Amino acid sequence: MTAKIKFMNVIGTWRMVADAARTTIRQDEGTKEPTSKWKKRILLAEHSPIRKLMFNWKWVDLPYWVSVHFVRHKYGIEHFVSTQRSDRTGDDREGKRQDAPVMHECQANAAEVMFISRRRLCSQASPETRAAWRLVIDEIAKVEPEVAACCVPECVYRGFCPEFKPCGYCGSDAWKKAVEAYREV
């Protein structure tokens, strides 16, 4: 079974993010649109106004056990997962397998999308979970490439691997290139 993304919506605008940033430094709203460079800088800085930019998506045919990995994330994100309750579906829940497909809709702010990426793009995450999250990031890249560029695994974000049993990616040439691309403004 392969999960798919049914839709991706962006809620909020970069202008709203910029105006919120101006508010924090006691400036009035601006009139020009933020540049790509400014977007990347505020995302890398992880300043609070980036939470004004929200994403809404739905996975279909996501294995239940993979859905559980995402439900673990609870700050800056809302989850709506299709039920397996017998009284709602007419199917015996006791007989459901852990890989039974579910629909899982989420709404998350940009800061949380970046945070989830650190955990779910890591090679220590299950391949199925990485693949499901990669679908989300690929859809985000189509509408907000600066956000997608800041969605990296923990080792790229931190500059080292914090895992007890590293996968070996950290320190490789590919890792060095990923760190360089991530830090590029």
CA atoms within 13 A on the CB side of 64: 10
Task: Quote the pLDDT of residue 89.
Answer: 76
Q: Are strands 101-109 and 54-63 parallel, antiparallel or unpaired?
A: antiparallel
Picking from 82, 48, 37, 58, the residue whose alpha carbon sits closest to that of residue 135 is: 58
Confidence of residue 182 (pLDDT cuts 50, 70, 90): very high
Burial letters for 97-119: b for 16+ Cβ neighbours within 10 Å, e otherwise?
eeebbbbbbbbbbbbbbbbbbbb
Region 4-110: CATH code: 3.30.1360.170
| CA atoms of 22 and 166, how far apart (whole Å) | 41
pLDDT, one tens digit per residue, over 102-132 is 999 999 999 999 999 999 999 999 999 999 9
Minimum mean pLDDT range among 99-103, 125-129, 141-145:
99-103
pLDDT, one tens digit per residue, over 18-28 is 999 999 999 99
Identify which has the larger pLDDT, 96 or 66. Answer: 66
Query: Residue ranges per domain, the chain?
Result: 4-110
| Largest Cα–Cα separation, the chain | 59
When pLDDT is averaged across residues 49-72 and rounded to a whole number, the result is: 97
Task: Quote the pLDDT of residue 1.
Answer: 62
